[in-house]
Amino acid sequence: MKNLLGGKGANLAEMCHLGMPVPPGFTITTEVCTAFYQSGKKFPKGLKDEVDKALARVEKIMGSKFGSTDNPLLVSCRSGARISMPGMMDTVLNIGLNDETLKALIAKTNNPRFAYDSYRRFVAMYGDVVMGVKEHILDKVTGEVDKNADPFGHAIDKLKADKGYKNDTELTADDLKGLVVTFKKIIKDVLNQPFPEDPREQLWGAIGAVFDSWMITRAKSYRKLHGIPEDWGTAVNVQAMVFGNMNDNSGTGVCFSRDPSTGENYFFGEYLINAQGEDVVAGIRTPKPINRQKPLPKGVNSTLIDDMPKIYKTLESFKEKLENHYRDMQDIEFTIEDGRLFMLQCRSGKRTGHAALKIATDLVNEKLITKQTAIARFDPNHMTQVLLPTFDTKSEAYINRQVLTGGLPASPGAAVGQAYFSAKAAEDEAAKGKKVILVRLETSPEDIKGMHASQGILTARGGMTSHAAVVARGMGRTCVAGAPITVDYGKNLFTIGDEVIKAGDWVSLDGTKGEVIKGQLPTKEVGLSDEFHTFMKWVEAEKVMKVRTNADTPNDSRVARSYGAEGIGLCRTEHMFFEADRIDHVRAMILANTQPEREEALSRILPMQREDFFEIFKAMDGFPVTIRTLDPPLHEFLPHSDHEIKQLAEKFSLPLQAVKDRIDFLHEQNPMLGLRGCRLGILYPEITSMQARAIFEAAVKATKEGIKVFPEIMIPLIGNEKEFAAQKALVDQVAKDVLGKSNVKLNYLVGTMIELPRAALVADKVVEAGAEFFSFGTNDLTQTTFGLSRDDSGIFLPRYLEQNIWETDPFVTIDFEGLGQLMEIGVQKGRSADKKLKIGICGEHGGDPPSVMFCYDLGFDYVSCSPFRVPLARLASAQASLKASPKDLKKKAEKEANPAKKPLSKQAEYKKKLAKKLAETIAPLANQALKSLKPMAKKVLPKTPAKKKPANDKVVKVTPKNNKGKPTKKG
């Protein structure tokens, strides 16, 4: 029921089933939220009635009445999305308090301080969350909303200062009473409207606020980051309040069934006596641990096990039961009200990557879950985490770090080094043994060696898939891209605000968060744990679709192989062209005026390329190696600055003008759509022939040395079967020649990238022309399908994501809806011509888990990704195999693109349609949700014998009935 009730609501219901004490309440379903937005933020008809009925049931159970001045019921109102979004959305506690019900609460609890404390909390929370006081306070200087405004906190601080208090606990009942008055005045002053005293108005305000909070910026950002669809909506959980702040026999806490940082299997948690949940989150007081499994923090002398041993025991038994029930590490919130334990929430606990591995392998070893389950539920992001060095987040230096600015978290990890501003400087300084951060406006293929020599790369321009980002991810270098810094190459420095970072100054980059940090932070080196190897062995056993790597060097090949890569899916030969010992020959080739001149220059590159390929074959002994023939436009190999051009002319003894003319001639308006890929090989067949020769000669040499070689030659940017046929003919000719002379037998394939829409549309023809494999180049295919240069999308991409025009960056996750169609056409047509056609992907998407699964759904034979993403892709491949219905993801994408779920901006159009539809469907839906909550209210509570039942205490107390038994199935 998670989709309808949200995670929190479903888990509350489940805890009821398991016989645990849960405050009675009900859930308003996520579909109501969706309807709320679709109808222009109006509550669907019929909802009020349903809520009234549900509330009446809660009142009945609790024996109190919402808004009663005699025995008032207070409720909380909490959000609950399908997937937990901790801390992202709003919560309102203590709803139902006003000057009148307050009196009854005092009378009922005989605890005026508690009552006023609850009241002032409620007024402040309501003022902030529901009425939006903060958003109405303007900065006196700028006239814009003052983001630092906190009038209620300010009032408390002032009072404490006036009274000389240090802690909130020192506030007396009278102080708190005064604060209520102050707070109400603030609300009136700021908003020119009073704090609502009517409890029902309060409740509906709170419900609306929870719905509203689905659309606040931080919630949207969180969803964007975690790929949660906008139209899922949140549920609202309305529950009777229980009070951890009633007295010192009360408290509230959070615990985990295992340590979420390390994964160690012990009961971990902390709690605060006499507090409400928000105090734990706010971190005003130091919480106590629940037990003595780890050394106590300074100044803490007791734990829950000491303070309330029975409660602890009960809580521990609940923990056991929940972990056994959910078969995962649980994150549990609880409140103790006057010595009685209430379970407020449980959910699968967030954890670090290392903890995730430890927990997963432990759970399997404990036979709680199968290996398959461990794999299926493993969060791919955890896999990334464990492979990367991180900052030592517990170090003082880290805690006090000075974040200069934030950029895009383009390539994860932690990098520390001295800033340098050119690839050459980076290389030179690194050669001296320095750790270097390369800082550029943007990077280009010429910077490759400098990037390689650096610990991390920081750029001022470009998005998640800019050159810097893509190359850095490929190399496993940390990268923060598109940071709002001003780079001055002339002065060798960059500035951000008043801060100036000069060449040689230390900078730290957090590629996972996108932080640019001043100075030198300590890092932790992370070795691969035993758990990693165990887990990956299981992954390997489930995986069907193979995982290769994109690697251009023997070293990358070896790294990838150590991560489990089963061959190379993309070896870009052009990176080899930039090596210092050959760039001159490459340039000579480009500047040549005739084919013989070009062939002469190429003949000098041949032995070097042959050696490259030999080393790569060696590193990939036994696995296929896909080598792409030259792809980038030739001008990328030529210098740009006048000075360099002059140098080049001198070196080649050419007239300066001739060199300039050639550069002008090769200049392109849109290099992405110009003379590149197989077009180079069509225009200059001698380039393809040279590369083929280098490949086959290297393969022959390797074979003679006993290395098993499976070269797969890949022709890029095919749009037409004739292009392919022409290039394949060249390759086959060279193969015949080289292999014939050597007497070596070699199995090789010639295939093509599918990276243009037209290639997908005529894929059958390309196979009929002899293509023996396809590799989807989804980077370029995305660029052409969207008409979108990834280098130039930076300006509007944020707006597109913000406005929800794109749910995700199409360069990160395959656009299933559009690109997916073309890929499907390509696969279907390709396989229609050759049933067994080998199909893979070598775009950046090959390392993105949802994209990997999509490829599996389409029947791919392999995915290929950068070395550091190989374990992640292997995991995703195994998860894809384990999925019951591998078409799920696509269906999901289709469903989300369904016109019934239009962008919210089209509210007006939908109002009309919905008016009718709502009347028919929303009320029953709300009803259904209520029915599903009945157990939570009905079943558990009646069965719970009251510990003590004073006549004036109408709040129903609950204790678990059946701690170790199976969850009750009835109801």
Binding site for its own copies (CB under 8 A): 665, 668-675, 677, 679, 682-683, 717, 719-720, 722-723, 725-726, 729, 755-758, 761-762, 765, 768-770, 780, 783-789, 791-793, 795-796, 799-800, 803-806, 815, 817-819, 821-822, 897, 899, 902-903, 905-906, 909
Residue 553 or residue 907: which is nearer to its own copies going by CB?
907
In the complex, the smallest distance separating the C-beta of residue 932 from its own copies, rounded to whole angstroms, is: 33
Concatenated DSSP letters of 267-324: -EEEEEES--HHHHHHT-SPPEESSSSSPPPTT----HHHH-HHHHHHHHHHHHHHHH
Contacts 24+ apart (CB under 8 A), 190-198: 190/133, 190/136, 190/137, 190/151, 191/131, 191/133, 191/136, 193/131, 195/123, 195/126, 195/127, 195/131, 196/126, 197/98, 197/99, 197/100, 198/67, 198/98
Write the burial class of residue 700 (CB in 10 Å: 0-12 exposed, 13-18 middle, 19+ buried). buried
Strands 515-518 and 499-502, sheet pairing? unpaired
Shortest distance in whole angstroms from residue 672 CB to its own copies: 4
Q: Which residues of 131-147 are buried (b: 16+ CB within 10 A; e: fewer)?
A: bebbebbeeeeeeeebe
Catalytic entry in 77, 842, 855, 865: 842
- The CA-atom distances, in angstroms, between 208 and each of 65, 135, 237, 926 are 22, 17, 12, 15
Cβ pair 936, 31 in contact under 8 A? no
Residue tagged 């069965």 (tokens): 943
Find the shortest distance in angstroms from Cβ 783 to its own copies.
Answer: 6
φ, ψ of residue 638 to 5 degrees: the values are: -95, 150
- Ordered alpha helix ranges (H), 490-594: 530-542, 554-562, 574-577, 580-591
Helix (H, G, I), strand (E, B) or coil at 71: coil
Q: Is 575 a catalytic residue?
A: no
Is the CB of 174 or the CB of 661 nearer to its own copies?
Answer: 661
Between 905 and 962, name the residue whose CB sits nearer to its own copies. Answer: 905
Q: Supply the minimum distance, in Å, between the C-beta of residue 913 and its own copies.
A: 13
Tell me the closest approach of the beta carbon of residue 148 to its own copies, in angstroms.
23
CA–CA separation, 776 vs 510, rounded Å?
A: 31
Tokens standing for residue 362:
């432990």
How large is the angle between the packed helices 656-666 and 642-651, nearest 10 degrees? Answer: 120
CA distance 555 to 329: 39
Look up residue 465 and give its DSSP letter. T
By DSSP bridging, strand 838-841 and strand 862-865 are: parallel
Ordered alpha helix ranges (H), 667-720: 678-683, 685-704
Report d(CA 405, CA 318) in Å as an integer. 44
Report d(CA 706, CA 418) in Å as an integer: 45
Identify the CA nearest to 697 among candidates 612, 761, 604, 625: 612
From residue 580, alpha-carbon distances to 174, 444, 643, 916 in Å are: 79, 16, 18, 71
Q: Cα 534 to chain center, whole Å?
A: 25
Query: Least distance to its own copies from the beta carbon of 835, Å?
Result: 16
CB hemisphere CA count around 328 (13 angstroms): 19
Tokens of 515: 């932080």
Nearer Cβ to its own copies (708/722): 722
**Shortest approach of its own copies to residue 887 CB, angstroms?**
18
Least distance to its own copies, CB of residue 654, Å: 17
Minimum CB separation of residue 137 from its own copies in Å reads 23
Beta bridge partners of 486: 495
Q: Are 6 and 213 in contact (CB under 8 A)?
A: no
The residue annotated as part of the active site, out of 382, 452, 467, 585, is 467
Cβ proximity to its own copies: between 645 and 672 the closer is 672
Q: Is 77 a catalytic residue?
A: no
φ and ψ of 487, to 5 deg: -100, 130
Q: What is the nearest approach in angstroms of its own copies to the Cβ of residue 909? A: 8
Neighbours of 226 (CB within 10 A): 12
Quote the least distance from Cβ 676 to its own copies, whole Å.
9
* Nearest alpha-carbon partner for 214 in 78, 120, 118: 78
CB of 419 to its own copies, least distance (A): 21
Q: Measure Cα distances from 20 to 109, 212, 315, 643 in Å.
A: 24, 31, 10, 77
Nearest CA among 947, 957, 960 for reference residue 316: 960
Question: What six digits make up the tokens of 171?
Answer: 């506030």
φ, ψ dihedrals at 299, nearest 5°: 80, -5
**In the complex, least distance from residue 802 CB atom to its own copies, rounded to whole angstroms:** 10
Q: What is the DSSP string of 182-228?
A: HHHHHHHHHHSSPPP--HHHHHHHHHHHHHHHTTSHHHHHHHHHHT-
Which residues are tagged catalytic? Answer: 467, 842
